Amino acid sequence: MNFSNLTVLYINCTLKKSPNVSHTETLMKVSQDILKKENVAFESIRFIDKDVASGVYPDMTEHGWEKDDWPEIYKKVMNADVLIIGTPIWLGEKSSEAQKLIERLYAMSGLTNSKGQYIFYGKVGGSMITGNEDGVKHCAMGILYALQHVGYSIPPQADSGWIGEVGPGPSYGDTKWKGEKLNPPKGFNSGFTNRNTTFMTYNLLHLAKMLKDNNGYNNYGNSREDWDSGTHWSFENPEYR
C-alpha cells in the first residue's frame, strides 16, 4: 500500500500547556511512528497552546472576542485528509478542550464543498484516549459521533486508548512512580493498546486513501445545494411519494 499522498492532523486536547508532558501526546507518537514508516505527512497541534475562543461561529472575533486562533487551525484541518482527536479522561468525560474543538468544528459544518456537500465530506476521523479511570469507550463514542455528525467518515476500529488502574497511579508513558523506575515505561507493553492503535491508524489510512482516490463521495443524493435549489428531487413529485 502507498499512503504517501495523505496528510494526517493530530489535535491533542490535553489540559497541559507546553512544555509539560502530555500522556495523550505520548500515545499519539505510537500512531505517528506508523505514519513515519509509511511516509505519511502529519502535524500535531496542542489545542490549549492556542488562543481559541469559545463559540459556534467560524471567527469569534466577529462576535465579541478580541482574538481567535481557530481560523488558522481550520486551514490545517481542511488541508488534512485525516483528523485524530486526542484527549485525557476527566470525571469520565473528554476534556473541556476536546469539547471546545468539537464546537468549533461544528461551527464550520454548514459550509459546503465544490460539489455542494457539507465541507467535511471525504475526510476521515479517529480518536485517541488516555486516563486512569474508566471512560475510554465513552469518550471515543462522543468524539466519533460528533465527527460523523459534521461530515467526517469513520472506519472500523477508529479509536484507541490506554487506561490505568482506578485511582492515583502512573499514567501512560511514565518512567517513574513514587521514586521507582518503570521499565518499560507505563503502558508501552500493553498489547491491547498497541494493537488497537495500529489497527486504528491503518484503518484511517485505508479509508482516507479510498476516498481521496475517488474524489470523495459522489454528490448524487447528498448535495445541500441541490436540496436547497430542488434540482434533483421534490416531494411534490409523485415519483418520490
Residue type at 31 in one-letter notation? S
List the one residue out of 36, 99, 103, 104 whose CA is nearest residue 73. 104
Q: How confident is the model at residue 32 (pLDDT cuts 50, 70, 90)?
A: very high
Beta bridge partners, 45, equal 11
Indicate the average pLDDT of the chain. Answer: 94
Please check the confidence at residue 240 and state whether its pLDDT lies above 60: no
Please count the other Cβ atoms lying within 10 Å of the Cβ belonging to residue 18.
Answer: 12
pTM of the model: 0.93
The predicted structure's pLDDT at residue 133: 81
Residue type at 99 in one-letter notation? Q
Phi, psi of 177 (to 5 degrees): -150, 120
Separation between Cα atoms, residue 11 and residue 160, nearest integer Å: 15
Q: Characterize 159-173 residue by residue with b for buried, 16 or more Cβ atoms within 10 angstroms of its Cβ, and e for exposed.
A: bbbbbbeeeeebbbb
Task: State the residue for C-alpha cell 454548514.
Answer: 110
CA 30 to chain centre: 16
pLDDT digits (tens, 9 = 90+) for 127-137: 999 998 889 99
Separation between Cα atoms, residue 198 and residue 129, nearest integer Å: 14
Q: How confident is the model at residue 49 (pLDDT cuts 50, 70, 90)?
A: very high
Task: State the residue for C-alpha cell 523506575.
Answer: 181
Please count the other Cβ atoms lying within 10 Å of the Cβ belonging to residue 114.
Answer: 9
Domain ranges of the chain: 7-240
Grid cell, residue 109, equals 459544518
Q: What CA–CA distances, in Å, run from 44 to 12, 30, 107?
A: 7, 13, 21
Would you say 23 and 171 are in contact if contact means Cβ atoms under 8 Å apart?
A: yes
The predicted structure's pLDDT at residue 229: 82
CA angle 169–175–177, rounded 5-degree value: 35
3-state secondary structure of 35: helix
Write down the architecture of domain 7-240 according to CATH: 3-Layer(aba) Sandwich (3.40)
Please check the confidence at residue 140 and state whether its pLDDT lies above 90: yes
Please check the confidence at residue 239 and state whether its pLDDT lies above 80: no
Task: State the residue for C-alpha cell 488558522.
Answer: 72
The stretches of the chain forming alpha helices (DSSP H) are 23-37, 70-79, 96-108, 136-149, 191-213, 224-229
Please count the other Cβ atoms lying within 10 Å of the Cβ belonging to residue 185.
Answer: 16
pLDDT digits (tens, 9 = 90+) for 79-123: 999 999 999 999 899 999 999 999 999 999 999 999 999 999 999
pLDDT digits (tens, 9 = 90+) for 177-227: 999 999 999 999 999 999 999 999 999 999 999 999 999 999 999 999 888
The predicted structure's pLDDT at residue 146: 98
The predicted structure's pLDDT at residue 241: 41
Please check the confidence at residue 163 and state whether its pLDDT lies above 60: yes
Sign of the CA dihedral 70, 11, 164, 155? positive
Q: Say which residues have a Cβ less than 8 Å from residue 141's Cβ, sequence separation at least 6.
A: none
